């Protein structure tokens, strides 16, 4: 099965996505997601200029060898641009192997460990009341786990709050330059525990609750938050601090039993090695699109399992349906599965451009048995929605200091 061509697409069917299509002499093609939010075109250039010429003529069955070739062969190891590019190729090769054997990717990984995939949804609002109303709506839709984010009183805008937007898939068009958002740790720490207190008062203890700090605290501040949230027993507290220095998490761990999750920006097992070995985290949030595709995610999960760390792949609106499908196959197989983040399937434009093998029902995703990843990409339709340059926000303190967004 020789690779005859590789096409790379950047489109914006409401959100920007980079899609890799590997064509072969069998007539079959494979699809991969290589979307890196806010830096999409760097990955497009990497794939077009540096990867494509090396792969034409290679055997598409050699997934492992191609992974090693692109990783070791670059010499410049790791980094989000390189790894997102490799991830897109890797997914497309697994998709191809599935198609040529007639098997869904989860079968190639070792078969299903579960019949359905537990997800957590997002509830947010401009006030505690609004956030809790939205939580109630998700509970009515069958969600068993929900992440709560709320506008912080006294701050103009807050991470994870949609404000006047209908959903996450409406956000893309309005960011020709990075918007600036304010941050104030004191206001945040004084407020967040009351959100969870009221959530438990209103909805009891059956629903799993989560929260994303989005890396805005120092280790000892995060420890204080973890302790304050203990009575509300979160499934996990996410990204309490940035994890460039992995030993930061030991500080938090030493002070609180609130479970910790991190990893959405990781692009290698090396980003998580110490966190896992020291048992400083409970859930690993790396994503197939940003962490080396299915080949690397499988290895990370196996390593994490030794330390009873479970997987909880990042599932934002800036990963394409192809990336989400890759997660679904991994989630169906992985023995140490935790939970999958799920924010919906996007709007009409997305569903015309991408088809996928997933169905949501009562708090779970169900994966069908289509061969490969079970996805398709309509390039004709996608060409109607050209890529739009768009940035993530940046964050500043009241005095203007740039802080972590």
Binding site for ligand CS2 (CB under 6 A): 37, 212, 214, 264, 314, 316, 318, 341, 392
9 or 236, CB closer to Mg ion?
236
Cα–Cα distances in angstroms (integers) from residue 225 to residues 87, 249, 264, 273, 378, in the given order: 35, 13, 20, 25, 46
Q: Is 159 a catalytic residue?
A: yes
- Selecting among 214, 314, 327, 329, the annotated active-site residue is 214
CB 275 within 8 Å of CB 253:
no
Q: By CB under 5 A, what part of segment 262-291 binds Mg ion? A: 264
* C-alpha closest to that of 15 among 401, 328, 263, 289: 289
212 or 271, CB closer to ligand CS2?
212
Tokens of residue 34, six digits: 């290589």
Q: Choose among Mg ion, ligand CS2, none what residue 248 binds, the Cβ cut-off being 5 to 8 Å by kind.
A: none
Q: Choose among Mg ion, ligand CS2, none what residue 392 binds, the Cβ cut-off being 5 to 8 Å by kind.
A: ligand CS2
Work out which of 212, 221, 271, 318 binds Mg ion, going by CB under 5 A: 212
Q: Choose among ligand CS2, Mg ion, none what residue 33 binds, the Cβ cut-off being 5 to 8 Å by kind.
A: none
Residue 191 to residue 155: CA distance in whole angstroms: 12
89 or 243, CB closer to Mg ion?
243
CB 209 within 8 Å of CB 241:
no
Q: Phi first, then psi: give them for residue 42, nearest 5 degrees.
A: -65, -40
Q: Choose among ligand CS2, Mg ion, none what residue 341 binds, the Cβ cut-off being 5 to 8 Å by kind.
A: ligand CS2
Q: How far is the CB of 313 from ligand CS2 (least distance, A)?
A: 10
Q: Give 159-167 contacts, CB < 8 A, sequence gap 24+.
A: 159/212, 159/214, 159/216, 159/405, 160/122, 160/124, 160/212, 160/214, 161/124, 161/125, 161/126, 162/124, 163/126, 167/343, 167/344, 167/347
Q: Which residue is nearest to Mg ion, using beta carbons?
A: 212
Q: How far is the CB of 341 from ligand CS2 (least distance, A)?
A: 6
36 or 47, CB closer to Mg ion?
36
Q: How far is the CB of 57 from ligand CS2 (least distance, A)?
A: 35
Q: Which residue is nearest to ligand CS2, using beta carbons?
A: 316
CB 188 within 8 Å of CB 216:
yes
Cα–Cα distances in angstroms (integers) from residue 4 to residues 74, 174, 276, in the given order: 22, 38, 40
11 or 395, CB closer to Mg ion?
395
CB 50 within 8 Å of CB 61:
no
Three-class DSSP category at 280: coil
Cα–Cα distances in angstroms (integers) from residue 251 to residues 16, 246, 309, in the given order: 37, 10, 18
Q: How far is the CB of 135 from ligand CS2 (least distance, A)?
A: 17
Q: How far is the CB of 198 from ligand CS2 (least distance, A)?
A: 22
Q: Is 214 a catalytic residue?
A: yes
Stretch that binds Mg ion, among 47-55, 175-183, 258-266, 388-396 (CB under 5 A): 258-266
Q: What is the DSSP string of 67-107?
A: HHHHHHHTSS---HHHHHHHHHHHHHHHHHHHHHHT-BHHH
Stretch that binds Mg ion, among 66-74, 259-267, 273-281, 364-372 (CB under 5 A): 259-267
- Mention every residue, 6+ apart, whose C-beta is less than 8 A from residue 334: 113, 298, 301, 311
63 or 241, CB closer to ligand CS2?
241
Q: How far is the CB of 324 from Mg ion (least distance, A)?
A: 15
110 or 176, CB closer to ligand CS2?
176
* C-alpha closest to that of 169 among 343, 19, 37, 359: 343
Q: How far is the CB of 318 from ligand CS2 (least distance, A)?
A: 4
Q: How far is the CB of 159 from Mg ion (least distance, A)?
A: 9
Q: Choose among Mg ion, ligand CS2, none what residue 45 binds, the Cβ cut-off being 5 to 8 Å by kind.
A: none
90 or 341, CB closer to ligand CS2?
341
- Selecting among 9, 46, 143, 159, the annotated active-site residue is 159
CB 258 within 8 Å of CB 281:
no
* C-alpha closest to that of 384 among 15, 18, 33, 11: 11
* C-alpha closest to that of 329 among 112, 32, 118, 119: 112
Residue 323 to residue 293: CA distance in whole angstroms: 9
Enumerate the active-site residues: 159, 214
> What residues line the site for Mg ion (CB under 5 A)?
212, 264
């Amino acid at each position: 099965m020789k690779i005859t061509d590789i096409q790379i697409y950047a489109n914006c069917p409401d959100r920007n996505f980079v899609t890799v299509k590997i064509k072969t002499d069998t007539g079959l093609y494979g699809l991969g997601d290589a979307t890196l939010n806010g830096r999409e075109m760097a990955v497009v250039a990497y794939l077009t200029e540096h990867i494509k010429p090396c792969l034409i003529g290679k055997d598409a069955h050699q997934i492992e060898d191609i992974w090693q070739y692109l990783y070791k062969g670059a010499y410049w190891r790791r980094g989000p641009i390189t790894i997102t590019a490799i991830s897109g190729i890797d997914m497309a090769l697994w998709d191809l192997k599935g198609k040529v054997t007639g098997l869904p990717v989860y079968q190639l990984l070792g078969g299903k460990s579960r019949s359905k995939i537990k997800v957590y949804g997002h509830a947010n609002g401009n006030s505690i009341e609004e956030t809790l109303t939205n939580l109630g709506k998700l509970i009515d839709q069958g969600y068993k786990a929900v992440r709560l984010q709320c506008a912080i009183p006294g701050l103009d805008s807050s991470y994870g709050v949609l404000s006047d937007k209908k959903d996450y898939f409406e956000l893309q068009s309005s960011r020709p330059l990075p918007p600036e958002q304010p941050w104030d740790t004191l206001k945040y720490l004084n407020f967040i525990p009351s959100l969870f207190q009221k959530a438990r008062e209103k909805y009891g203890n059956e629903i799993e609750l989560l929260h994303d700090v989005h890396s805005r605290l120092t280790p000892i501040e995060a420890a204080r938050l973890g302790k304050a949230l203990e009575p509300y027993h979160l499934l996990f507290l996410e990204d309490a601090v940035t994890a460039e220095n992995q030993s930061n998490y030991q500080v938090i761990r030493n002070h609180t039993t609130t479970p910790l999750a991190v990893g959405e920006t990781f692009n290698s097992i090396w980003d998580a090695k110490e966190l896992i070995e020291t048992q400083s985290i409970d859930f690993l949030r790396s994503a197939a699109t940003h962490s080396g595709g299915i080949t690397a995610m499988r290895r990370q999960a196996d390593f994490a399992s030794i330390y009873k760390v479970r997987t909880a792949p990042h599932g934002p609106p800036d990963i394409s349906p192809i990336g989400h499908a890759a997660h679904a196959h991994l989630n169906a197989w992985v023995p140490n599965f935790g939970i999958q983040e799920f924010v919906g399937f996007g709007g009409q434009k997305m569903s015309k451009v991408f088809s996928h093998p997933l169905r949501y029902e009562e708090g779970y995703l169900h994966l069908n048995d289509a061969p490969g990843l079970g996805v398709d990409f309509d390039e004709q339709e996608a060409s109607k929605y050209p890529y739009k340059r768009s940035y993530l926000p940046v964050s500043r303190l009241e005095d203007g200091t740039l802080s972590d967004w």
